[in-house]
Chain A
Amino acid sequence: MSPSDEKLKSERILNELKMRQRSKDIVDVEEERVKVVTFMCGKNLFAFYGSDIREILPSCDISWVPCLPDYFPGLINVRGDIESVIDLRHFLGEEKVHQSKQLIAMAVRGDFHSGIMIDSIEDVVDIPLSSIRPPLATLHGAARDLVIGEIEYGGEIISLLDVGKLAALIVL
């Protein structure tokens, strides 16, 4: 082999890098990932699909409206749009707290859009779709009707809540 045929060290490294990159791309294609928003509500951590949460609003004035069920604390004014607010604690069987300490996650899915009161935001993380496990068969309590799956976060298993299931629980 003539010296000119011999690959330079830089070329070998570059090839290796490109091969590694290609194999990573393949892995990325195979591993579909989803964003989830993890948050505290009551004593527990929960998550929503990130695609269902448009924004997180700091605590804001909630205008009470007579005649609404307990799970609707009222209305908020979001830059001129009037939105309903749902108290998630009601559906999770958690004790009510003072509204001024709560954040509001604006949830949108199809025709459903509403603010959802939560205690605090923990994180927004990308997880492999395959890592979402079906809800535990032994899951009990009020949260059961809202859970679409279980995910691992920070070494613990947390419930992934479904905005669609929440919408279905609102009895008009």
Chain B
Amino acid sequence: MSDTGDTHLDLFLFSVCGIHFGVDAEQVSEVNAYLGEPCEDLFWFHEELGFGDEAITYLSPTIATIRAEGGQSYRVIIDVMEDIAEIGLYEILPFPPLIEPFALRKGMWGIMVRNNRLILLVDFKLLLREQSHVEDL
């Protein structure tokens, strides 16, 4: 059991460019198809996470609206929503110590193995906080 008394987490699972991610389903308030509309407050997941300079193709771009702190919302384009799954907290592993500092800076806080795949757990609130720290510097 965690400090918060939770034993399970509902994960919203999706992938981008063949990399699998999970986010606490409580953070996702809405999911809509992305129809190509330009919008200033819309972010591409691969740009937010730092996928590098290679061109990324989204097979089924989807807008996930994230409940951010202070009642704000944050809209990010992800790809291929896969599932919503309940997982036990005991299934979550921290990142290896050498990699953890890099991962945390991009909001990635844990890993789980599901069907032989590694799933990277992303906390969008952590990502936004880290981004605001960088902007403050």
On A, residues with C-beta under 8 Å from B are: 63-69, 72, 75, 77, 80, 82-84, 86, 111-114, 170, 172
Contact = CB atoms under 8 A, between A and B. Distances in A.
A172 B101 contact: yes
Interface residues of B, number: 23
Given A67-B102, A75-B111, A75-B118, A84 B51 contact: no
A83 B96 contact: yes
A73 to B, nearest CB: 11
Interface of B: 19, 46, 49-52, 93, 95-99, 101-103, 105-106, 108, 111, 113, 117-118, 120
Contact of B99 (A68, A80, A111): A68
Contacts of B106: 66-67
Is chain B's interface secondary structure helix, strand, loop, or mixed overall? Answer: mixed
A82 B102 contact: no
A75 B99 contact: yes
B105 A77 contact: no
Task: Rank and list the top 7 A-B pairs by shortest CB-CB distance, nearest first.
Answer: A67-B50, A84-B96, A66-B49, A63-B118, A67-B106, A84-B98, A172-B101
A77 B97 contact: no
Given A66-B49, A66-B50, A67-B49, A114 B98 contact: yes
Nearest to B49: A66
Nearest to A72: B99
Contacts of B118: 63, 75, 77, 82
Contact of A67 (B93, B97, B103): B103
A63 B21 CA distance: 12
A82 B108 CA distance: 15
Contacts of A112: 98
Contacts of A82: 93, 95-96, 111, 113, 118
Contacts of A65: 19, 99, 102-103, 108, 120
A82 B98 CA distance: 12
A67 B130 CA distance: 13
A66 B46 contact: yes
B120 A77 contact: no
A69 B102 CA distance: 8
A39 B20 CA distance: 34
Given A66-B46, A67-B106, A84-B98, 16 more contacts: A63-B118, A64-B19, A65-B103, A66-B49, A66-B50, A66-B51, A66-B52, A68-B99, A69-B102, A75-B96, A75-B99, A82-B93, A82-B111, A112-B98, A113-B96, A114-B98
Contacts of A77: 113, 118
